[in-house]
Structure 1
Amino acid sequence: MIDLLSIARTEADGGDLLNLLSGLFEPSEVRPEGYSDAVVWQGGNHDGVVNPVAHSLTDAYALLGTIAAVDILGLPFYAVPMWSQYRHDTKLASLGWFGNMPCTSVKWSTAGDAYVNDGNGNKVVVMGKSANAPLRTQAGVYCNVRPYGPITVVRCMPCLPYSQDRDKFVVDDSGIVHSEMNTPGIQMAYANRLFLKMVNDSGHLGRVAMKPTQAMEDGINAGLHSWLLKGTKFEVGRRYAVDPYEEHKERIDRIISLLPSNFKDGMENWGGRIEQHISDTNYGLLIWDLIEKRDTIVLATDLDGDRLTDLLADISDPLRAFGDKVVQHVGKNVNMWDAWSEMGYTTGNGRDMTSVMHRMDGPPIHEQTLGSADAMLLRLLDGDESLGGTKRPYDPRIHFVLMRDAYIDANPGNSELRNWLDSSLDVFDGIYGENRPGFLEGYKALKEAITPWGS
């Protein structure tokens, strides 16, 4: 059994977490290309049968839950230190190490508002905040894909509608806030193509959530989408009044000239139905698609995609709560959770939502979409996870769900591994029922109930 509480206290106290974790894992000879100085550890059962997955060791419960899960499962893995203090100390170099690992990987949530030591005894906000944007840039991420229930959101990256360059970010004497964005157009083209491929392959309805009427960057993105549609068999229902490709043709053609000459090869046979919407309307449409169980794929820019997936994660609980009010109003005794399932809905409370970041080169990065649960960890350290019975302890299920997805992705066709992962998740669900155990108690119970891989 790993002393998880000691790890949590060391992190919270600003102690030497690097030294502590170095004693848990072995140094690995595997390095990302071009990063010979990268710190990479390994653990688990490297049996040559299962391809390893790389984990980012980040912050709070994201860190603690990952260490617990890899210990319980015993699968082969690599680990890259990436918690707040270490990101700061390495001036974000560890992001490049993790983002370029030559294997399928899992990026666990990072704390964005953490205070760290600046090396001179002062507390400062961690460099890069959550570091999501620089990680995606260094890893060459062009989009992430988040499926939940009948809806999948394809979110262009790093298509960030806010300042990315601190040196160019100023507030002038007249109070005008000036910022500068630098969005790689090539990545936008790849995200658009993946979206269309997913619509073609799945037969699902494709919705485009952009705002070319107001945002110039959205005009470029929507224009790339329009260019990709040309010469295909896609049927476009709702269509932008002005073709954004024609409006921004000279600018978009500069991006097109940088794409591989065979970029559209085969797309002449792609087809499906596409609806082009102003991004704002997709929030309401998403709720309707969920209610009507309509299989839908949505293409959105980074900010809108983030908000759409937050809504997708959160909306089911309010819908069930409203359903409770309705059945109470009509005098019926109905359990809405049971009714939700009986009616064919599959979305829970968002804690099982997964995400996959696609890279220009290399295998994908699976991503935890929840926060690092800093406040919940403080309750564990205070000895009262339930806060006097008013809160439930941390639910580490996402660690097992995401690891299952990542290992299946990294080991296609390995039915033995898939079955073992599924049975391990069943064991987890048996222990973490309605009466959720405390984190340390749950860790102990899972260690006793799950036989590690290869044992």
Structure 2
Amino acid sequence: APLRTQAGVYCNVRPYGPITAVRCMPCLPYSQNKPKFNIDPKTGHIHSEMNSPGIQMAYANRLFLKMVHETGAVGRVAMKPTQAMEDGINAGLHAWLIQGTKFEVGRKYAVDPFEEHRENIEKIIALLPPDFKAGMENWSGRIEQHISDTNYGLLLWDLIDHQKCIVLATDLDGDRLTDLMADVSDPLRHFGGKLAKHLGQDVDMAKVWSDMGYTTGNGRDMTSVMHRMTGPAIHEQTLGSADAMLLRLLDGDESMGGTKQPYDPRIHFVLIRDAYLDANQGNEKLRKWLDEALATFDKVYSAQRPGFIEGYKALKEAIKPWGN
């Protein structure tokens, strides 16, 4: 969290299928300051200290509203303003930002979080640029304010119904929401297969899923972009799955006795493509080369997924290096 704060990161945007999560960062509702962490030996009470950057919260809220305005997607606010002070401040910043705009708010929080925390929120507002809300008077769209927990169920409905939406959440809830976005399609496909079998049908659920217009896979192709207050956005990908795959390779059994599929590195190709296009806007020659490289990757990995070493060799032989 301190490194992200120093880099000016204010949110993480993750689009997947019809849903885009805008995750305030860093905004962690748990201990961030190890030297301040302590347990009282007499009572067992845990003491911790947080330092959530309110300015970054304001920037994340503004980006969320901008995306809702520009895309026409439903905007969902996933906060718990009545249970967490940080969520109250975050929701209050959101309430302040939509003042004087053309956004329509459907479901509303029972208490206006801006009025509830006005004195503290105005301390953050005083630190923002004077023109922070410039142009927002013409922004419009549909906003739904939900208690954060509700969005887990709503996310399922939105995915099933192809409802385009953008969800604004804190770091913790945003992490859980993006995990669900990544993981839920496999069990939905599995359930579809069981339902088809119950009805006496033998179907290829991957094909059915695609034929029905769904685009989400297993989350390995979910892009992740860190937005900063100044400077270019950072395209990133956590490498937990890659680490696990390397450990399996070192153990000598990548498939773990046939229980695991080979690693799918597509996300790295997607992120490399996005990052280079961001840094070289208007370079159609580069776009064409990157698109062809991604198409080659999909061809190599489209049928039975190769092992890591075999896949690397096949890609190296098939992709012509840039400039050659």
2:35 to 167, 172, 177: 167
Which of 317, 321, 329 does residue 186 from structure 2 map onto? 317
1:15-164 matches, cutoff 5 A: 133-164=1-32
2:163 aligns with 294
2:5 touches 2:53 (CA, 8 Å); kept in 1?
no
Q: Which residue of 1 aligns with 2:196?
A: 327
1:441 paired with 2:301, answer: no
Count of paired positions: 323
Q: Secondary structure at the match of 2:69?
A: helix
**Counterpart amino acid of residue 8 in structure 2:** G
> Quick check: 345-354 or 370-379, which moved more?
370-379
Q: Quick one: which of 255, 266, 287 aligns to 1:397? A: 266
Match of 2:125 in 1: 256
Query: Would you say the 8 A contact 2:182–2:219 is kept in 1?
Result: yes
Query: Closer, same or farther in 2 for the Cα pair 1:341/1:308, shift >3 Å?
Result: same
Tell me, yes or no, if the aligned pair for 2:12 and 2:225 is still in contact at 8 Å.
yes
Q: Which amino acid aligns with 1:141?
A: V
Does the residue aligned with 1:373 lie in a helix, a strand or coil? helix
Residues in 1 aligned to 2:111 and 2:53: alpha-carbon distance in whole angstroms: 24
Q: Superposition pairs for residues 205-284 of structure 1, below 5 Å?
A: 205-284=74-153
Q: Secondary structure at the match of 2:76?
A: strand
- 1:39-91: CA deviation from partner (whole Å, max 9, x where unpaired): xxxxxxxxxxxxxxxxxxxxxxxxxxxxxxxxxxxxxxxxxxxxxxxxxxxxx
Distance 1:453 1:373 in 2: 25
Structure 1: runs of 5+ lacking an equivalent: 1-132
SS in 1 for 2:240: coil
Q: Distance in 1 between matches of 2:101 and 2:2?
A: 35
The structural deviation recorded for 1:369 is 4.1
Please tell me the residue identity of whatever aligns with 1:343.
M
Separation of aligned partners in 1, 2:135 and 2:123 = 22
Task: Name the SS for the 1:420 alignment partner.
Answer: helix
Paired residues of 1:235 and 1:274 also in contact (CA < 8 A): yes
Structure 2 letter corresponding to 1:252: I
User: Are 1:353 and 1:369, in contact at CA under 8 Å, matched by a contact in 2?
Assistant: no
SS in 2 for 1:368: coil
Once the 2 structures are TM-superposed, how far is the Cα of residue 138 of structure 1 from its aligned partner? 2.5
Q: Secondary structure in 2 aligned to 1:144?
A: strand
| CA offsets 1:247-278 (integer angstroms, 9 cap, x no match) | 00000000001100000010000000000000
Please report how far the alpha carbon of residue 150 of structure 1 lies from its aligned counterpart in structure 2 after TM superposition.
0.3
> Helix, strand or coil: the match of 2:206?
helix
Over the aligned positions, Cα root-mean-square deviation in angstroms equals 1.1
Indicate whether 1:382 and 2:251 are aligned: yes
Q: 2:296 aligned with 1:427, yes or no?
A: yes
For the Cα contact (< 8 Å) 2:27–2:170, is it kept in 1? yes
Conservation of the 8 A alpha-carbon contact between 2:224 and 2:235: yes
Which residue of structure 2 aligns with residue 363 of structure 1?
Answer: 232
Structure-1 residue corresponding to 2:321: 452
TM-score normalised by the chain length of structure 1: 0.70
User: Displacement, 1:391?
Assistant: 2.1
Aligned ranges 1:191-206 → 2 under 5 Å:
191-206=60-75
Q: CA deviation at 1:342?
A: 0.7
Instruction: Quote the Cα distance in structure 1 between the aligned partners of 2:275 and 2:241.
Output: 19
CA distance in 2 between counterparts of 1:180 and 1:134 reads 13
- Which deviates further from its counterpart, 435-444 or 229-238? 435-444
TM-score normalised by length of structure 2: 0.97
Cα distance in 1 for partners of 2:16, 2:157 equals 14
Q: Deviations over 1:370-419 (max 9, x none)?
A: 52533321221233222233322222211111111111111111111111
**For each residue in 1:158-185, what CA deviation from the matched residue of structure 2 results, as whole angstroms up to 9, or x when unmatched?**
1011111111101112011111000111
CA distances 1:199-228 after superposition (whole Å, capped 9, x unpaired): 001111000000001111100000000000
Distance 1:407 1:196 in 2: 27
How many Å separate the matches in 2 of 1:280 and 1:316? Answer: 19
- 1:25 corresponds to: none
Counterpart of 2:203 in 1: which secondary structure? coil
Matched residues in 1 for 2:202 and 2:304: separation? Answer: 23
Aligned-pair CA distance for 1:433: 2.7
